[in-house]
Structure 1
């Protein structure tokens, strides 16, 4: 491992910042330091100088995936995950998405997540739960209750662009990624998902605000564009595989 590599520096900064008892409550100053470091990391520094082959298959942009972000194209090439480091307090890894692939709408319970687009363009749609929370039920008893979310982001991000940060209750804790072009995202999750700790990943479908009413709060037209009802759904069958990380390895050591 090359001493002073950006990946090693990211690991060491995360290790100083996140502990098993306070991984999701790091200070804003510490998060800004990690974000600033991630801003400087290039694809070449993590072994992606030439990107990954984008054998994109048929794609599905003709059916407007942005209007249905939970849809996954079964004929698309798989999303590749490159594992860099994991401990009880945080994980570091890279998601490589071929054109038109989707990571459906999902949450990050009690977690802080930093995401840096290394190359390419990605559509990001993100929500936070409203406070106080509003719950509604549809007329179909088979459906799960839906909960009101406020839209925080609905845009296309293209590298190079600043690292984005989401927090347990702000910043777009529930998000969906759609690859506009072949792209890669460097992710830091603190703390990582854990069934034992109750941090399970839940997937959602979003419905227009006008679709439901709580019975307590009348439907307000002005909320139509920036609010949606989110329904928990079964985990989708994601087309994802593990890949070989070829960048500088992390030397796990006491600081």
Structure 2
């Protein structure tokens, strides 16, 4: 779809351009930071069965070393996760302030989800999609349904990515008591019996861990505190999941170890 696709791509590129013009306190642009987190996450996922490869480079939480299999299928949803991670801080250029030489990005998590949705382009129904296609020169009506299916797949990826962006901050700020962790895992208590929702929330903890790797390597005190917190959060989240959904972990681990 020439006109629609180029329009949305241009909006996408405008957002990336904004992210490339603003630097964080670590000296990297917002875009560079997001790519760094994405690359670390990919490296982690590629080495889940070979954790020793990661331990030679990064501090690895015990929960990841022991329960690596819980994150194995994140690669199947890589398009949405990759997109969400690449744009998880996209709201920062729109709310930057500075005080005493330190940059602040108040409530950037809210703006990130809003800006990603805004710049991703409007959602079309089938009639709107067809009318947009019909504006193209040499439009071929025989391809409309195939193109519509591709558009719906792309839209699904965008919606999943928006959800990752919207919930990104939660893993960073959730309190470490059982009630708060359960509330986080079940998405504000809305899905207390939905295993896939809990698992997606657990994946957000892994993404949070990768962001910590990106942010804290040059600040040992901040790094130690952040890793202690993510170790505690991940460990208890997995224990609570295992209590809520017994026997799911063992069967998954056996099937992956034998694959």
* TM class, shorter-length: under 0.3
Instruction: Considering fraction of residues, name the structure with more strand.
Output: 1
Q: Of the two, which has the highest radius of gyration? A: 2
TM-score by length of 1: 0.25
TM-score by length of 2: 0.24
Question: RCO (CA 8 Å, sep 6+): is it higher in 1 or 2?
Answer: 1
